[in-house]
Amino acid sequence: MEPLILYFVLFFPSLYAVPFQGTDSGIITFSLLHELGRTLTYTIPALALVWYMMSDRNGLSALREEKPTVQDALLFGIGFPSLVILGLGISFLVPLFHGYQDLTPPPKVQAPATIIGWIVLFFSCIGTGYLEESYFRFYLLKRLEYTLPRPVFRVILSTILFSVCHIYEGPWGIVNAVLAGILLSLLFIRFRSLHGIAWAHGAYNIFVYAMGNFIS
């Protein structure tokens, strides 16, 4: 019950607060103030809550024990290119189904126009990567080990909840979230480490915005 309560507390407010400025043109515009405000008032407090729930509530042992290692660099080297390949593969499929009304293209994101915007975006994306990986992989997959001993069921549940958070991106965004969720879950189960997949997740989010420079 605790994981589901935490899920609704953490992710449903952000789901309904997704900025849809500019969606008439199919583009979500970048807002520096929105990203900065979201990072300071949502991402950081939500991440602190997840880490508190993962810890022993007193000594914060999870924070002390989970430190970056060389293995995380390997995880990043596997995870980030794999996420990029999945994302690009889906973007190539979208035009092939252009005539299907139910398969509308996902909204595109606008890249920042200033250095300050990119700095804010960097911390926003890394923070989001850490928040989502901390909950959907590090917390959820570990927390359910006794309730769901078979890893396949934990991966399915984690991926479903992860995908629901990306429903605003439309059917293609959900497909991308499903594939990415499975990939990141398998990497975590194999290596039992958080930082590498969080870096990969955050870097992929930055990559998506960087591709906004090529939007005409």
Q: Is residue 24 part of a domain?
A: no
Say how far apart CA 166 and CA 178 lie, in whole Å. 10
Q: Is residue 3 part of a domain?
A: no
Q: Is residue 156 part of a domain?
A: yes
Q: Which of 15-19, 54-58, 129-133 has the highest mean pLDDT?
A: 129-133
DSSP SS3 for 28: strand
* Number of domains making up the chain: 1
Beta bridge partners, 27, equal 108
The C-alpha angle 7, 122, 130, rounded to 5 degrees, equals 30
Q: Is residue 11 part of a domain?
A: no
Q: Is residue 198 part of a domain?
A: yes
Residues of the chain above pLDDT 90, percent: 55
Name the DSSP class of 148: S
Entry pTM:
0.89
Phi/psi at 73 (5° precision): -65, -40
Measured CA to CA in angstroms, residue 188 lies from 38, 100, 136, 158, 177 at distances of: 27, 36, 10, 12, 16
Give pLDDT, residue 213.
67
Cβ 168 vs Cβ 176: under 8 Å: no
Say how far apart CA 12 and CA 19 lie, in whole Å. 14
Q: Is residue 94 part of a domain?
A: yes
Give pLDDT, residue 105.
78
Q: Is residue 5 part of a domain?
A: no
- For residue 38, what is the enclosing H or E element? helix 32-38
What does the pLDDT look like over 26-85, one tens digit per residue? 677 888 999 999 999 999 999 999 988 887 655 555 556 678 889 999 999 999 999 999
Q: Is residue 16 part of a domain?
A: no
Tokens found for residue 65: 């024990």
Range of the domain at 170: 30-55+70-214
Give pLDDT, residue 103.
80
